[in-house]
Amino acid sequence: MEKIVLFEGSKKDFNSYLDDHDVEEYTPFMELIRQYNEKVRGNDTSAVNEVGEVNRNLIENVVIYSDDFASVTDHVISNFPNIVILGHDIENLYIQNPPKRVKYSLEVEFDDIIKYRKSNYFEADTEDIISFYKEINTGSIIGQSEAKKKTCVGLYKSAVLDKNQPLVLLYYGPSEVGKTELAKKISSFYAGRLTRIQFSMMQTEEAVKYIFGDSHGKPSLARDLLSRETNIVLIDEFDKVSPSLYNVFYQMFDEGEFEDINYKVDVSKCIFILTSNFNTEKNIAEVLGFPIFSRIDTKIKFKQLTNEELALVIEDIFDGIYEKLSTEDKKLIDGSELKKRYLESVEIFKNVRLLDKFIENDIFSVLFESRLKGN
């Protein structure tokens, strides 16, 4: 074997690395496993040595993605070097986010030919952040001027101080007022898809396994963090996390490092955005406790939208649907005065998430009824 590349980061960046190094044709991991299973039964480890050098296949490139490890047995992880090289003469081996056991076993046998690569995550400078602030104040996120400013102050501070420690922001306030949308905008600004973690979807036992790791094939917090496309990590409904799990976040927020039974990940440059429905900072401190409260860099309050702001949201949603209609359908909607009626009743719409469905359904109900009547 000539070279082993251990890549830590997102699948998107791993693919870019392969493209940049002209790795166009390769043998996938599951093909090696299939060939291995044909030669050696999974539980017959003694047969590994019997095959020896007989009928070794020449393979130029083997590529193993992070998700591939979820498809194999624990035996494959434990015996990874033997299985990979058994019956093969591999020139180049490329692996994305290998579990710790795989990484350590390769380092023992092939330390001199291993190259370590990782995602080069975008890091904004102060000018970038000023431009971003101006953009979000004229963009699709309506209202929340104070929340936008405090967020960008936090990003600015992080860029200047450049600590080897994550930035932690807590968004609190009522539901459906733009907390998640702002997090998505920030992630897009940092050039990738948002990593979103929802502990509210997990029962306590599931959350424990997700955080501390289970079998290598199961989803885990560490694996999700390793595979992130940006340094922006959203933890939705942080107030729903079991207090028994908070000690995990002490290490993560203090030291910028996280490790479970299968993976270890550096999060020192991450920006963690925690969302919650708390009403006040006092409420936050009482529920979360001082140890977590003190590790949050900035608590940022989101307010209920005013009627004027809701009117802007309605116009934005309505116009987005309207622009997709044919000229004939636009005339029908204009004649219905539907938009005018929405704007006259703006105070009844407090759940913004449902608003787009209401408007969408009403527009197409008008069009459908008109067609039925032959108008």
Coil/strand/helix, residue 285: helix
In this prediction, residue 62 carries a pLDDT of: 92
Q: What is the pLDDT of residues 98-147, one digit of tens each?
A: 999 999 999 998 999 999 999 999 999 999 999 999 999 887 678 889 99
In this prediction, residue 50 carries a pLDDT of: 46
Task: Determine the Cα–Cα distance for residues 199 and 210; give it in Å rounded to an integer.
Answer: 9
Q: What is the pLDDT of residues 173-214, one digit of tens each?
A: 988 788 988 999 999 999 888 999 987 766 678 888 888 888
In this prediction, residue 204 carries a pLDDT of: 74
In this prediction, residue 227 carries a pLDDT of: 94
- The residue-averaged pLDDT of 238-251 equals 85
348, pLDDT greater than 70:
yes
Of 165 and 73, the structure prediction assigns the larger pLDDT to 165
* Structure-token pair, residue 29: 């991991």
Task: Determine the Cα–Cα distance for residues 58 and 47; give it in Å rounded to an integer.
Answer: 21
In this prediction, residue 38 carries a pLDDT of: 72
Task: Determine the Cα–Cα distance for residues 269 and 273; give it in Å rounded to an integer.
Answer: 13
Domain map (residue ranges) of the chain = 3-118, 126-301, 307-372
Of 50 and 275, the structure prediction assigns the larger pLDDT to 275
Task: Determine the Cα–Cα distance for residues 286 and 210; give it in Å rounded to an integer.
Answer: 26
Q: What is the pLDDT of residues 305-339, one digit of tens each?
A: 888 888 888 888 899 999 999 999 999 999 999 99
- DSSP tag of 138: S
304-326 b/e (C-beta count within 10 Å ≥ 16 → b): ebeeebbbebbeebbeeebeeee
58, pLDDT greater than 70:
yes
- The residue-averaged pLDDT of 342-359 equals 79
Domain at 126-301: CATH code: 3.40.50.300
Comparing 21-30, 80-89, 166-175, 329-338, the range with the smallest average pLDDT is 80-89
- The residue-averaged pLDDT of 232-253 equals 88
In this prediction, residue 362 carries a pLDDT of: 92
- The residue-averaged pLDDT of 40-45 equals 52
Task: Determine the Cα–Cα distance for residues 272 and 270; give it in Å rounded to an integer.
Answer: 6
Of 170 and 308, the structure prediction assigns the larger pLDDT to 170
Give yes or no for a contact between 297 and 256, defined as CB atoms under 8 angstroms apart: no
pLDDT band, very low/low/confident/very high, at 42 (cuts 50, 70, 90): very low
Q: What is the pLDDT of residues 10-19, one digit of tens each?
A: 999 999 999 9
Give yes or no for a contact between 24 and 111, defined as CB atoms under 8 angstroms apart: no
53, pLDDT greater than 50:
no
Query: Exposed, middle or buried: residue 161 (CB in 10 Å: 0-12, 13-18, 19+)?
Result: exposed
- The residue-averaged pLDDT of 228-240 equals 92
Task: Determine the Cα–Cα distance for residues 228 and 191; give it in Å rounded to an integer.
Answer: 11
Of 46 and 35, the structure prediction assigns the larger pLDDT to 35
In this prediction, residue 55 carries a pLDDT of: 54
The owner of tokens 């033997």 is 82
Give yes or no for a contact between 165 and 324, defined as CB atoms under 8 angstroms apart: no
Cα-only R_g, the chain:
26
Sign for the CA dihedral angle at 319, 321, 327, 331 comes to negative
Task: Determine the Cα–Cα distance for residues 225 and 300; give it in Å rounded to an integer.
Answer: 24
